[in-house]
Amino acid sequence: MNTERPQALAETNFKLPGQTDFYRGKVRDVYTLDDKLVIVASDRISAFDHILPKAIPYKGQVLNQIAARFLNATRDICPNWLEATPDPVVSIGKRCEAIPIEMVVRGYLTGHAWRVYKSGRREICGVPLPEGLREHDRLPHPIITPATKAESGHDEDISKAEILERGIVSEEQWNILERYALALFERGTEMARERGLILVDTKYEFGLYEGEITLIDEVHTPDSSRYFYLEGYEERQQKGEPQKQLSKEFVREWLMAHGFQGLEDQLMPIMPDVFVDQITERYIELYETITGEPFERVDTSSLLERIERNILDYLQKNA
What is the structure's pLDDT at 151?
58
Which range (74-83, 135-144, 200-209, 248-257) has the least confidence? 248-257
Query: Is residue 15 situated within a structural domain?
Result: no
pTM: 0.91
Q: Which CATH number fits the domain that encloses residue 80?
A: 3.30.200.20
Does the pLDDT at position 63 exceed 90?
Answer: yes
Yes or no: say if 104 and 94 are a contact pair by the CB < 8 Å rule: no
Query: Is residue 124 situated within a structural domain?
Result: yes
Q: What are phi and psi of 295, to 5 degrees?
A: -85, 130
Query: Is residue 10 situated within a structural domain?
Result: no
Strands of the 21-24 sheet, one edge to the other? 21-24, 28-33, 36-41, 90-94, 82-87
Whether residue 163 sits in one domain with residue 83: no
Q: What is the C-alpha separation between 102 and 207, in angstroms, rounded?
A: 11
Whether residue 127 sits in one domain with residue 192: yes
Whether residue 109 sits in one domain with residue 83: no
Does the pLDDT at position 204 exceed 90?
Answer: yes
Q: What are phi and psi of 150, to 5 degrees?
A: -80, 140
Domain range for 283 is 21-95+273-317
Does the pLDDT at position 137 exceed 50?
Answer: yes
Tell which of 192, 220, 240 closes a domain.
240
For residue 138, count other CB atoms closer than 10 A to its CB: 16
Whether residue 112 sits in one domain with residue 61: no
Query: Is residue 218 situated within a structural domain?
Result: yes
Across 1-15, 40-54, 144-158, 176-190, which has the greatest mean pLDDT? Answer: 176-190
Alpha helices in 240-292 (DSSP H): 249-257, 273-291
Identify the three-state secondary structure at position 85: strand
Separation of CA 228 from chain center: 16
> For the chain, what percent of residues have pLDDT higher than 70?
97
Does the pLDDT at position 3 exceed 60?
Answer: no
Q: What is the C-alpha separation between 156 and 158, in angstroms, rounded?
A: 6
Tell which of 240, 263, 287 closes a domain.
240
Mean pLDDT (whole number) for 199-220? 96
Across 101-105, 223-227, 254-258, which has the greatest mean pLDDT? Answer: 101-105
Whether residue 145 sits in one domain with residue 25: no
If one counts the domains in the chain, the total is 2
- In 3D, which of 131, 135, 159 has the Cα closest to residue 145? 159
Query: Is residue 116 situated within a structural domain?
Result: yes
Yes or no: say if 37 and 93 are a contact pair by the CB < 8 Å rule: yes
What is the structure's pLDDT at 95?
96
Identify the three-state secondary structure at position 187: helix
CA angle 209, 215, 221 (to 5 degrees): 150
What is the structure's pLDDT at 89?
98
Q: How confident is the model at residue 1 (pLDDT cuts 50, 70, 90)?
A: very low
Whether residue 189 sits in one domain with residue 133: yes
Whether residue 102 sits in one domain with residue 236: yes
Q: What is the C-alpha separation between 177 and 78, in angstroms, rounded?
A: 10
Q: How confident is the model at residue 40 (pLDDT cuts 50, 70, 90)?
A: very high
Query: Is residue 208 situated within a structural domain?
Result: yes
Give the residue with greater pLDDT, 80 vs 34: 80
Mean pLDDT (whole number) for 69-82? 97
Yes or no: say if 69 and 291 are a contact pair by the CB < 8 Å rule: yes
What is the structure's pLDDT at 16?
96
Query: Is residue 199 situated within a structural domain?
Result: yes
What is the structure's pLDDT at 154?
59
Whether residue 124 sits in one domain with residue 41: no
Q: What is the C-alpha separation between 26 and 155, in angstroms, rounded?
A: 15
Q: What is the C-alpha separation between 307 and 19, in angstroms, rounded?
A: 16
Yes or no: say if 109 and 117 are a contact pair by the CB < 8 Å rule: yes
pLDDT single digits (tens) 147-163: 997 655 557 899 999 99
- Beta strands 197-209 and 97-108: pairing type? antiparallel
pLDDT single digits (tens) 85-102: 999 999 999 999 999 999
Average pLDDT, the chain: 94
Q: What is the C-alpha separation between 83 and 160, in angstroms, rounded?
A: 31
Query: Is residue 290 situated within a structural domain?
Result: yes
Whether residue 60 sits in one domain with residue 35: yes
What is the structure's pLDDT at 149?
72
What is the structure's pLDDT at 265?
87
For residue 42, count other CB atoms closer than 10 A to its CB: 24
Yes or no: say if 98 and 205 are a contact pair by the CB < 8 Å rule: yes
Whether residue 231 sits in one domain with residue 103: yes
Whether residue 236 sits in one domain with residue 203: yes
Mean pLDDT (whole number) for 45-71? 93
Q: Which CATH number fits the domain that encloses residue 218?
A: 3.30.470.20
Whether residue 285 sits in one domain with residue 234: no
